[in-house]
Structure 1
Amino acid sequence: MTPIKVLLVDDSPVAMSIFRKVLDSAPEVQVVGTAQDGAEALNLIPRVQPQVICTDLKMPKMDGLEFIKHVMAKSPLPILVLSDAVQKQDIDNVFQVLQAGAVDVMPKPASVSTADQEELKRQLITKIRVLASKQVSAKPLT
């Protein structure tokens, strides 16, 4: 089975390290690139050709919402938003990212113990597997 190619976009070195470690431990997923903001990620997409993008929302230069809009307009791909800003109480943020074209959201874990890491891995890999099987269509920039 060919691994699912994932692009990670997050300005937090700690979050990037955790997600990278979790995904690198899963043989069915291959992290093909990392970026610290949406602008950097847009430049990477044609080179690394990810099948799924995992992005944060709050980033410098180009935030996650703007990044999602650009991806969906230029080269639509399934996007999973991994962010502190998509907790259950953040209905507006969740609605905005889904309306912009993201396929799913997942709150960043508050802490990551070894037990939490296994649960994070299970949830994240399941979501990535599902997203990789989804067809997404372009949305014009508005």
Structure 2
Amino acid sequence: MAKIRVLLVEDSQVAINIYEKMLSSSPHVEVIGKASNGREGLDMVTQLSPDVICTDLQMPEMDGLEFTKQVMAKYPTPILVLSNAVQKSDIDNIYEVMKAGAVDVMAKPQTALGGSTESMQNELVVKIRVLATKKVKAIPLG
């Protein structure tokens, strides 16, 4: 079976390293690109055609919401938003990115807070494997 090709869009190098480590632990997932903002991410989507995109919301140049809108308008791809801004209390953010076309949201792994990286890792890999099976439709800008 082909690996699920994942593009990471995240301005924190630390977070990118954590996600990459978590994902590379799975035999089913391969990180094919890393972008530090939405603009860079958009270029990479055209070049790499990932199966799934993981993006942060708060980034310089182009934030995750705008990035999601652009991707879904031009290159519909399942998107998982990994962000500190999607805790259960951030209903507005969650609603906006879901409306923009993101398939799922997940709070950033809080490994520094002594959370279990293993359960986070499993959750992330499972979400990506599920997202890879989803067919998404273009959502026109506007």
- TM bucket by the smaller chain? over 0.9
List aligned pairs for 1:1-142, cutoff 5 A: 1-112=1-112, 116-142=116-142
The AA in structure 1 aligned to 2:70 is H
Secondary structure of 1:126's match? helix
In structure 1, what is the Cα distance between the partners aligned to 2:131 and 2:137?
13
Q: TM-score, normalised by structure 1?
A: 0.96
C-alpha distance 107-115 of structure 1, shift in aligned 2 (>3 A): closer
The alignment's C-alpha RMSD in Å is: 1.3
Stretches of structure 2 lacking an aligned partner (at least 5 in a row): none
The AA in structure 1 aligned to 2:110 is A
In structure 1, what is the Cα distance between the partners aligned to 2:115 and 2:91?
28
Which string of whole-angstrom CA distances, capped at 9 and with x for unpartnered residues, describes residues 32-81 of structure 1?
Answer: 00000000011011221100000000000000000000000000000000
Which string of whole-angstrom CA distances, capped at 9 and with x for unpartnered residues, describes residues 73-124 of structure 1?
Answer: 0000000000000000000000000000000000012225887221111000
In structure 2, what is the Cα distance between the partners aligned to 1:59 and 1:29?
24
Secondary structure of 2:53's match? strand
- Equivalent residue pairs, number: 142
C-alpha distance 115-97 of structure 1, shift in aligned 2 (>3 A): closer
C-alpha distance 84-124 of structure 1, shift in aligned 2 (>3 A): same
In structure 1, what is the Cα distance between the partners aligned to 2:72 and 2:109?
26
Structure 1 ranges of 4+ moved more than 3 A? 112-115
Is this contact kept in 1: 2:111–2:117, CA < 8 A?
no
In structure 2, what is the Cα distance between the partners aligned to 1:113 and 1:29?
26
Q: TM-score, normalised by structure 2?
A: 0.96
In structure 2, what is the Cα distance between the partners aligned to 1:140 and 1:105?
21
